[in-house]
Amino acid sequence: MFSSSTPTFPFMLIDYLTNFSSVEDDGPVTKWYGSSPPNCYNQKEILIRDWKLREEVLEAMTSGFLRNQSLGFPDYYLSGSGDKFPILLKHKPSDPDLTEVSANLPPLPCGTKIQNIAMSCFSDRKKDWVVCVKLPGSQLSLFRPFCNSKWIKVKPMPECISSLSSIMFSKKDQRFYIPSPGGNHLCSLDLNFNEDDKPRFFRVGFEDYPESVVSELEELNSCSRTDHLVESPTGELFYIKWYGEEYEGEDLDEDENYNDVVRSLTHKTKKFMVFREKETGYAEEKKNDVIIYTEEDDKTMTYTEDIGDLCIFVGHSQAYCVPASSSPGLKPNCIYFVGYSFGVYDITTKTCTTFFTRDADEEDNEIVPLRRLDFPYWPPPFPISR
């Protein structure tokens, strides 16, 4: 099952582990179940003891397939100036008639960390190619690799842009979107955006919550949340709410009472909620018995537990969506997540499978979620045929 080299279809490994049946306490992999009352979300936790296997899972979930297949990957290198790092961006278009291109993006200030990166569709008109990056402090910057020589900075709006959610590009709408902190609006930048322009904001409405889901919302109030937009290959837009919870670590002195002393907190994924865009045209919004017609670009999202053959990837960068049939090992109607925890969420059964390992940096080898906090970027899985 395990190999020293990266497999061609790495999600075969992930699929094997999520369906692993062993419960041996001393084996390389142990699986156990838990639930969170009162709603009893299904929690499946897989402890990976084998260090070689742990690295293979990290590789499979973040970079175990071909990079630059249709998305770019930022590569930092020292320019020689000693104080700034230019960025080399490579892009392999999905259109077979277009050749791979690369562009040097202007340096960002020393010490700046890219949180997210998204790109518009690449066409034979290179001047239309736009790159958008999200920096700390909800700062957005745009760059046209074949038109500009410097970044186009968007005026900082920390109260309008979520600091943790990711930016995405909609091929259908030809816009960059990022959710507001409350998730009720989308900040939007079009491809012709210039430094003197102001972003547009579209309202987002959520509807069709089943009664069973409404009862879950109260419990989720204590959870952290990030919001992500993702577009399917056919142009269907999904809104993803990613909930995380904190739990107390085990780093305690033997003579201290567990109920009185908490030495550490760990964060892991608890649940996802998925919403599908409803095609409504001009929407009707009723306030104080007065009907208000909203803009055509406003979004109405309906709750769903079925996205069909699709699977979604979320991490620190732009969320990505592909058909599960495009690569062996991918499971339909699932969300693959990386960041503070790694795992797979089944949308239908609401089962969250989280990978765990032992922290080698701790003397007591505390059990912690498998994680990688550097810049995970989702390229698409390697296809079955080219």
> What pLDDT digit, counting tens, does each position of 108-157 carry?
776 677 778 888 876 656 677 888 888 877 789 998 888 877 889 888 77
Say what percent of the chain tops pLDDT 70: 68
CA distance 28 to 341: 19
Residue 225 lies in a domain: no
326-350 tens-digit pLDDT: 888 899 999 999 887 899 999 999 9
Residue 192 lies in a domain: yes
Residue 102 lies in a domain: yes
Residue 125 lies in a domain: yes
Give the residues across from 271 on adjacent strands.
243
Eight-state DSSP code of residue 55: H
User: Residue 22: what pLDDT?
Assistant: 59
Write down the pTM of the prediction: 0.81
Long-range contacts of the stretch 76-81 (C-beta < 8 A, 24+): 79/107, 81/107
Residue 314 lies in a domain: no
User: Residue 21: what pLDDT?
Assistant: 65
**Range of 144's domain?**
71-201
Residue 84 lies in a domain: yes
Cβ neighbourhood burial of 176 (10 Å; 0-12, 13-18, 19+): buried
Residue 332 lies in a domain: no
User: Residue 352: what pLDDT?
Assistant: 92
User: Residue 291: what pLDDT?
Assistant: 44
Tally of domains in the chain? 1
The answer on pLDDT for 1 being more than 80 is no
Residue 370 lies in a domain: no
Q: Would you list the DSSP string of 107-144?
A: EEPTT----EEEEPPP-S-GGG--EEEEETTTEEEEE-
CA distance 191 to 176: 8
